[in-house]
Amino acid sequence: MSNIYEPGYKIFVECLRDLRAQSRMTQQELAASLNCPQSYISKYEQGQKRLDIVEIRRICTVLGVSLTEFASEYETRLKEGGL
């Protein structure tokens, strides 16, 4: 089974999805800001596409959160989930 289906990755995707929702952006708006198709956002939010650190940083920047803040939230959720 691919790492993309690990519980930790599911939490990671949830963090990204929640961050976008908190920023009150649709997938389409985020995609336009990132200059990519909406399907790119949909695929990583559904866990169908893995992201690298450069992509994560770009997403965070557009959504108004530092990579450090995002990583801290992710770590908090991992601990809450017992991971």
**CA 38 to chain centroid:** 14
| 3-77, CATH topology level | 434 Repressor (Amino-terminal Domain) (1.10.260)
Question: Are 27 and 41 in contact, with CB atoms under 8 Å apart?
Answer: yes
pLDDT at res. 83: 87
Whether pLDDT at 2 is above 60: no
Reported as a single tens digit per residue, the pLDDT across 48-71 is 899 999 999 999 999 999 999 999
Q: What is the pLDDT of residues 25-53, one digit of tens each?
A: 999 999 999 999 999 999 999 988 999 99
| Domain ranges across the chain | 3-77
User: Closest Cα partner for 39 from 29, 50, 27?
Assistant: 27
Q: What pLDDT score does 1 carry?
A: 35
d(CA 39, CA 83): 29
Q: How many CA atoms lie within 13 A of 47 on its CB side?
A: 14
